[in-house]
Amino acid sequence: MQTRKLGDWQVSPMGMGCWAIGGPFWAGDDPLGWGEVDDAVSIRAIHAGLEARINFLDTADLYGAGHSERVIGKALEGRRDQVILASKFGFTFDEESKQCTGQDASPEYIRQAVESSLKRLRTDHIDILWFHLNDYPEDQADEVAVTLEALSRAGKIRKYGWSTDFPDRATVFSKYPNCIGYQFEFNVLTPSPMLGFCEQNKMAGVVRGPLAMGLLSGKYTDANQLSPSDIRRISPDWMRYFRNGTPAPELLEKFTAIREILTSQGRSTVQGALAWLWGKSDITIPIPGFRTPEQILESAEAMSFGPLDPDQTHEVDQLMK
């Protein structure tokens, strides 16, 4: 597949989503991560992705309470110029206890968070910085954008955007010159009003949750497959894809209905889910998660298949209705 446009950059059609490689972190007793990780394996996975010509990495300071950024910093030693690197801010956390402690979007905290991320990532600039607070009040968002504009002018970040599912909030950022686009949840099971917003405003659309937190891999059918430190095991109320550690039955039924189309031409279901996103719009840049080289290479191979053709994309859409 050809590259896709992310602001002034040309990037691979997919990126590497780095939530899972952060390892366990918590909100009280509730897990926020995806289970235990081996940092050496995570680094090998990142290198495998780079060798497969994926040149976009996306993380957040919160993931693993800073640990994802630290792993990426090690993995990119001597390779920083090979990637467009994105991170996020907005949640407060304690690195030692691995606890998420709250939220903060004040100018002082944003500047502090950026400096901390730069140190963990072992870099002097972040290419794209996303605002991580999805439903932050829109009437307070201008102050956040003004702070990010200043950080862009100072060279600490190059561009920025908002990880939000709400077009009304996205509108606030869109009037600022260094806002590059938006990150939003979108997959074959979950529509998003943000896709149309980004297309209309000629903004990049970075897609989180492209595999429905693993449901679209077809691999997770039993709660016992998931670690007690895996957020899918407890399935909090906001998580639509899993309940009590197993796929939500109504979504599993939809997945079964479209599985044959997704796996056309020898694709895996993972590759088919990515192909649908590419077929849906030429602005979509999915960022599937991974924990092993095998997982990132399976996703990367989707690029060799390319998007579903228009008839297949339309057929899937009709079945979803």
Rg (CA), the chain: 18
Structural tokens at position 44: 């090998």
148 inside domain: yes
CA distance 225 to 239: 18
311 inside domain: no
51 inside domain: yes
Q: How many residues does the chain have?
A: 321
56 inside domain: yes
| Number of Cβ within a 10 Å radius of residue 320 | 14
CB 285 within 8 A of CB 6: yes
pTM over 0.85: yes
CA distance 242 to 234: 9
CB 159 within 8 A of CB 131: no
198 inside domain: yes
Strand 126-131 to 84-89 pairing: parallel
273 inside domain: no
219 inside domain: no
- Measured in degrees and rounded to the nearest 5, phi and psi for residue 240 equal -80, -20
Question: What does the pLDDT read at residue 110?
Answer: 99
| Number of Cβ within a 10 Å radius of residue 78 | 7
235 inside domain: no
Number of domains comprising the chain: 1
CA distance 252 to 235: 15
Tens of pLDDT along the chain (321 residues) come to: 789 999 999 999 999 999 999 999 999 999 999 999 999 999 999 999 999 999 999 999 999 999 999 999 999 999 999 999 999 999 999 999 999 999 999 999 999 999 999 999 999 999 999 999 999 999 999 999 999 999 999 999 999 999 999 999 999 999 999 999 999 999 999 999 999 999 999 999 999 999 999 999 999 888 888 999 999 998 888 889 999 889 999 999 999 999 999 999 999 999 999 999 999 999 999 999 999 999 999 999 999 999 999 999 999 999 998
Question: What does the pLDDT read at residue 264?
Answer: 97
Question: What does the pLDDT read at residue 1?
Answer: 72
Which CATH number characterizes residue 32's domain? 3.20.20.100
* 243, β-bridge pairs: 246
Question: What does the pLDDT read at residue 89?
Answer: 98
CB 59 within 8 A of CB 109: no
Instruction: Tell me the residue range of the domain where 98 lies.
Output: 4-212+285-305
Q: Which of 286, 273, 284, 280 is nearest to 310 (CA)?
A: 280
CB 290 within 8 A of CB 45: yes
